[in-house]
Amino acid sequence: MISSSSDPLLLRVARGEVAHRPPVWLMRQAGRYMKAYRDLRDKYPSFRERSEIPEVAIEISLQPWKVFQPDGVILFSDIVTPLPGLGIDMDIAEGKGPLIDPPIRTKEQVDNLKILEPEESLPFIRTILQSLSQEISNKSTLLGFVGAPWTLAAYAVEGKGSKTYSVIKNMAFSDPNLLHQLLSKLADAISTYACYQVDCGAQVLQLFDSWAGQLSPQDYDTFALPYQQKVFQQVRQKHPDTPLILLVSSSAGLLERMAQSGADIITIDWSVDMADARIRLGQDMKLQGNLDPGVLFASKKFIRDRIYDTVHKAGFGKHILNLGHGVFPNTPEENVEFFFETAKQLTMVEAV
């Protein structure tokens, strides 16, 4: 049955309703592939400026919406944005990502972490989300997002991004109690922050556990999954009707475990064939993804064929079309436009 609800398309599908086509948006929609963004970056070279000055973050969030009209508009921010509110100093270096100085390595540091008070430490979030909600009205779904405890802990303990995650794995395997203490505090803070975003207007929330794919399955069960569950449970207690999405990078071996998180929607990356993901996760689970971002460098015919293939394999009515991760910096804008045009022309007949 096709929904006649006045709610925006992505929100309806995220809630489990059937619509006339799959909704579509792109992760890292507002980003370096857009000239408008690069021009603004030249004016505001600091990422924290761009994401924490409300009028700048609002403009960046709306840049792709004004050009491509995606079904989802996502807050322009970063997963580490709430960390200063816990007493964890951070910066975001252009091209290098988050930098935490000093990194969190001792029990004393974990004991001294503050309780997150978003209205005090993140007041710009309310301004940004409320303005976005007013701007897009009911024409699109407003997405908020947060980082998951394991991934935020990885940044906090390593002090930066890592290829080996040797420092946090050392803590995990030699002092697990300390890491669990940190993860528990982060889970409470993230839950608070996620609920705050919903209070400010976010209609759907995505949890990024970007680095959980670096864990073995047994360690995922110990250090990632329980804290994903804790965040989702706490958010659901306050906002039971807000759809929740889980993303884990390099997650081919973890899909069934991700389904145990409590997420309503599982993001699939391009390392898994969407048909296999549908079999492994069942017909009832809603999926998001999973085009390789590199596809957007190809010909229009290739892009169209991959869109059709992905939607067909995911199954109509239980799928949000997206990439398996963020748009690459040098992606041609005209190919992004074609991606959206093609997606919006899909019909139920074409998708099955």
Q: Is 33 a catalytic residue?
A: no
The residue from 12, 41, 50, 306 that is catalytic is: 41
Q: Is 50 a catalytic residue?
A: no
Q: Is 32 a catalytic residue?
A: yes
- Torsion over CA: 35, 339, 255, 16 (sign): positive
Q: Is 28 a catalytic residue?
A: yes
- Identity (one letter) of the amino acid at 234? Q
The residue from 21, 71, 105, 155 that is catalytic is: 155
Q: Is 42 a catalytic residue?
A: no
The residue from 78, 188, 209, 292 that is catalytic is: 78
Core vs surface per residue 257-275: b (16+ CB within 10 A) or e: bbbebbbbbbbbbbebebe
The residue from 12, 28, 50, 278 that is catalytic is: 28
| Strand-by-strand arrangement of the 244-247 sheet | 72-74, 141-147, 204-208, 244-247, 265-268, 286-291, 319-323
What is the set of active-site residues? 28, 32, 41, 78, 155
